[in-house]
Amino acid sequence: MECIEPVLAIVKSGWGPICRQLDYIINLEKNLEDLNKQKENLDAKMVDLKEKITRDISKVATRECNQWLDYVKDIEQQVSVIQEKYKVDEKCLAGWCPNVCSKMKLGKRVEEIIKQITDLNNKRSTFEGRELTDAPLEKVQPQNVESNSLAATERTLKEILMFMEDDDTKMIGVWGMGGVGKTTTMKLLNDRLEGSPAFEIVIWVTVSKAGNRRNVQNAIAERLELIKSESDDQRKARICKTLRRKKFLLLLDDVWEMIDLSDVGIPPLNQVDGRKVVLTTRSLKVCRQMKTNKDVKVETLSEDEAWNLFIKSAGDVAMTSDIKQLAEGIVKECGGLPLAINVVGSSLRNNGDVVVWRNTLRELQLPTTSENEDMEEQVFPCLRSSYVLLQDCKKKLFLYCSLYPEDSEILITELVEYCWLEGYIHGVGSIEVAREKGHSVVMNLVDASLLETCAK
C-alpha cells in the first residue's frame, strides 16, 4: 500500500485537469445556448441604453456609459466569431469527425465569454440612473453675418475688443443711430470669439422694443438649454447657478431701456474674472442706466466709406458716366447709414436705366412721396421707431429742426428760444429756465442718436 498511494495521488492530480478539458467538450452545446441567452439579455440592455441616450438631446452619455457600450460591442464581435467557428466545426462530416483540441479550445472560450457577459450585465446596474450628463454647450452660435469689410466696422470692433481685454471693464455699451451698423458689429464680435479661450460660452440675445424680463430670461434659458416652463424665479435661480460656474460673455442687441441683469439671473460681473456684457442701443441714456464701464459710439460712414459700400452693393454700373452723378447724390441722401446704402444699392444693382436712378434720387429727397418698397419696409421703420418713442415736447423740438436748411448747423440757444416762443417747452417761468430745460431736451436727442453735435 505504501507504494500504491503515491501512484494514486499522481493519477488523481493528473485526472482533474483532464476532466476539466473534457467538460469543455461535453458542455459545449449547453454553454452555447447559455451564451446566446446571455447575449440576448445584454443586447436588450444595450438597446435600452442607446434609446435613453438619443431620447434626451440636452444630455450626453458619461465616460463610464460609453466605455460599457464599447465593451458590449467588442463582446458581440467575439460571440459572432465563436458562433461562426462552431458552425464550421459542425459541418465537418456532419459533426462525425470532430477536432477534439479545437472543440476544447472553443468550449473554454465560450465559458470565458459567458463570464465576461455576466460581468457586463452586473456592471450595467452599477451606473443605473447615472448614464447621462449635461451636454457641453456650443461655445458660440455663429450669426453668419456677411461683412463688407468696412474699415469703420473694424475700427469699432477693435475698440470693443481692446476694452474687453481690461479685467476691470465688465460692461461695454455700443450706441448709435438706427441703421448705423451696431448689430453687424455685434454679430462680427460674436463670430470672432469662436476660437477665443477667454469665454466658455457666448450668449446672444436680441432684446428689441418688446424686450422684457421674461423674454430675455427665455432667450438665455434656451441658449443654456434649460427648462423654460418654470416660473420666473425658478428660471432665474437656474440661470444663475449655471452661469456661476462659467466664464461667459452676454451680448444684448437692440436694448431700448434698462435691464436689471440680476433680476434675469445673471450673477454679479465683478465677483469673478471672465464675466462680461456688451450691449447695443440707440441711446446713450440706456448705457448710463446700465452703468456701463466703457461706451463706444458707432459713427456714420465717411463719404469715401459710404461710396465704396454703395459700389459693392450697386455694382460698377454706378461708375458709368451718365449715372455716377446720380449715384453720388443717392449716397449723400443715405446719410452714411450702411443699412440705407445696402438697401438702395441692392435695389439698383446692375441697373443701367438712368430714369430709374433719377427717380430713386428724387424719392430719397422727397421721402413723403416715395414708393420705394425696400426703403419703406427695411429702412424707414428702423429710423421711425426712434422718433415714435419720444415724449411730446422732444418730438416737437426735433420736428422744428427740420425747418432749418439741410446740413445746416443749428445754435442750441437759438433753437431753444424759438421752441419756447412756440410754446413747446412747458412749465418754465423765465427764458433762463427755458434755455436750461431746452438744452437738456436737445442733449437727450443727441444721446438718442437723433441729432449730431457739430465740431466746435
Tens of pLDDT along 357-379?
A: 998 888 888 866 555 666 666 67
Among 54-68, 152-166, 401-415, the least confident range: 54-68
Share of the chain above pLDDT 90, in %: 24
The pLDDT assigned to 174 comes to 96
Q: How confident is the model at residue 24 (pLDDT cuts 50, 70, 90)?
A: low
Residue 323 has pLDDT above 90, yes or no: yes
pLDDT tens, position by position, 89-144: 666 545 554 566 767 777 778 778 888 888 888 888 888 888 877 666 666 677 76
Least Cα distance to 165 among 200, 196, 204, 203 occurs for 196
Q: pTM of whole model > 0.75?
A: no
Distance CA(272)–CA(82), nearest Å, equals 59
Q: ∠ at Cα 130 (126, 131), nearest 5°?
A: 95
The pLDDT assigned to 1 comes to 47
Distance CA(113)–CA(106), nearest Å, equals 11
Q: What is the mean pLDDT of the chain?
A: 82
**Do the beta carbons of residue 431 and residue 417 sit within 8 Å?**
yes
Distance CA(413)–CA(27), nearest Å, equals 108
The pLDDT assigned to 12 comes to 44
Question: Bridge partners of 75?
Answer: none
Higher pLDDT, 9 or 47: 47
pLDDT tens, position by position, 185-201: 999 999 888 777 888 88
CA atoms lying within 13 Å on the CB side of residue 55? 8
pLDDT tens, position by position, 243-288: 988 899 999 999 999 999 999 999 999 888 889 999 999 999 999 9
What lies within 8 Å, CB to CB, of 118 at 6+ separation is: 38
Whether the CA torsion 432, 434, 440, 443 is positive or negative: it is: negative
151-297: CATH class:
alpha beta
C-alpha cell at 72: 458590449
**Do the beta carbons of residue 400 and residue 377 sit within 8 Å?**
no
Q: What is the torsion angle, in degrees rounded to the nearest 10, for the CA atoms of residue 252, residue 253, residue 257 and residue 261?
A: -10
pLDDT tens, position by position, 407-455: 788 999 899 888 888 888 887 778 888 889 999 989 888 888 788 787 6
